[in-house]
Every structure is written in structure tokens, then in C-alpha cells.
A and B are shown apart, each in its own frame.
Chain A
Amino acid sequence: QVQLVQSGAEVKKPGASVKVSCKASGYTFTSYVIHWVRQAPGQRLEWMGWINAGDGNTKYSQNFQGRVSITRDTSASTVYMELSSLRSEDTAVYYCARQVLFGGNYFFDFWGQGTLVTVSS
């Protein structure tokens, strides 16, 4: 069965970086695109970017102004999301999600369990 398993909770100081992992299993890793979505406490979901696990191409939301980087390790079937220059507003649960493309539409059919990142001095 398809699973996306994320790394554990992190506590970081302002200005630091965090790297969250998302390990995929149960499907052909390189055949899908993985997205990252975050959710601050009590807020709506916010899309951050995606990576094509096959060729490594990426696209990021301009809202993160170059602070986000998504990479993958095909030998480990794992995608990584690194967010730098952390500030308190980055405190959120970070999710990875698998993309399906069907009939020209993109949607997320499987999600990781979420990783809480807390930014606090």
C-alpha cells in the first residue's frame, strides 16, 4: 500500500534551517511528483512547491522568496524539504503529498502524516 512517512517533530531557533524528510513506499517512486504543503496553527493549507521524483525538476511558491528547497534521493525513495531563515511565522505542520495528474487536473491522493516544526527562541 502507498505510504508517505515523514520525519519527526523539530524545534528550531529563528534564523536557522530545517530539513524534513518524506519516505515513500508501495509505488514506483520515480513515477510521481511530490508536493509540500504546510498548515500554521488554525490556518488554511498553504502550498510550498513540488519535485518530480523522476527527473528532479522543481517548482516553488514565490511566497517563500527563495527560502525553500526540495530535493530527492531516488536510492532511498525519499524527498526532502529544507526551509531556511526560519521565523516564528514558519511554525506549522508540514505535509508531503503525492500528486496524481488525471484529465489535465492535479490532485493529492496520498499524504504524509505531517511534521510539526516549531520556531522559537
Chain B
Amino acid sequence: DIQMTQSPSSLSASIGDRVTITCRASQSINSYLNWYQQKPGKAPKLLIYTASSLQSGVPSTFSGSGSGTDFTLTISSLQPEDFATYYCQQSYSTPFTFGPGTKVDIK
């Protein structure tokens, strides 16, 4: 199975801050990497697919980059509604696996 790791596991930030979350795969997954946002008690929401494509309806403050084994999710200007947990997920091979999550909370 492909193992996914994320860093940091949590971070505190202020409104307007630039936030970067890193995701690493245990082997090359090309660009088959997706990012989801999850709020407490809610289902995950797709933000970014294929490493850098913005899902329809997602604010342009979100962006993704990377390929191979290393990927990043960037929020260019943190908004109140962005406080949540973020998960990366590889879709290169089954079993599809997710990272452990990065919790973004208010400083």
C-alpha cells in the first residue's frame, strides 16, 4: 500500500495568513493526488484534484502543486471558513489512501 504523510499535523494561523500544508507519498504517484477539506461532523469536500486543478466552486485562494512524491496545498489568504482539517489522498493505485490530516485552527 502507498503510505501518505502530512506536515504539520496541526497549525495555528490568523485571518489573512498564507498557509502551506505538505503531503508526501511513499512512492511516486505522478500527479494522482487530491485534497479534501473536512469540518467537524461533516463529510469531506473536494478542493483540488490531480495535484493542481481547482474544483468548481472552490475559492481561488486555494492552490495545489507537486508531482511524484511531494505535494503542497496553499491557502493564500486564510478566511474564517477555512478553519478545518485538510487531507491529501492518492488515487494512483488501490487501496486509495489518505494522509493523517492537518488541522488548521485560529491563532
Q: Which of B32, B50, B97, B101 touches A47 (beta carbons < 8 Å)?
A: B97
Q: Once the chains are docked, how many angstroms separate the CA of A46 from the CA of B96?
A: 8
> In the complex, what residues of B have CB within 8 A of residue A45's CB?
36, 44, 87, 89, 98
- Interface size for B (C-beta < 8 A) is 23
Contact A61:B95 (CB < 8 A) given known A45-B89, A108-B46, A111-B44: yes
B101 to A44, Cβ gap below 8 A?
Answer: yes
A105 to B31, Cβ gap below 8 A?
Answer: yes
A44 to B87, Cβ gap below 8 A?
Answer: yes
Q: Once the chains are docked, how many angstroms separate the CA of A114 from the CA of B45?
A: 13
A108 to B44, Cβ gap below 8 A?
Answer: yes
A46 to chain B minimum Cβ distance, whole angstroms, is 7
Contact A44:B50 (CB < 8 A) given known A111-B44, A114-B43: no
> In the complex, what residues of B have CB within 8 A of residue A113's CB?
43
State which size class the interface on A falls in: 20 to 34
> In the complex, what residues of A have CB within 8 A of residue B89's CB?
45, 107
B77-104: which have CB < 8 Å to A?
A: 87, 89, 91, 94-101
A107 to B46, Cβ gap below 8 A?
Answer: yes
A26-70: which have CB < 8 Å to B?
A: 35, 44-47, 59, 61-63
A105 to B44, Cβ gap below 8 A?
Answer: no
A1 to chain B minimum Cβ distance, whole angstroms, is 12
Contact A59:B49 (CB < 8 A) given known A44-B99, A95-B43: no
Residues on B facing A (Cβ under 8 Å): 31-32, 34, 36, 42-46, 49-50, 55, 87, 89, 91, 94-101
A to B CB contacts below 8 Å, 30 in the list: A35-B96, A44-B87, A44-B98, A44-B99, A44-B100, A45-B36, A45-B87, A46-B98, A47-B97, A47-B98, A61-B95, A95-B43, A95-B44, A97-B43, A97-B44, A100-B49, A103-B50, A104-B32, A105-B32, A105-B49, A105-B50, A106-B32, A107-B49, A107-B50, A107-B91, A108-B34, A109-B46, A109-B55, A111-B44, A114-B43
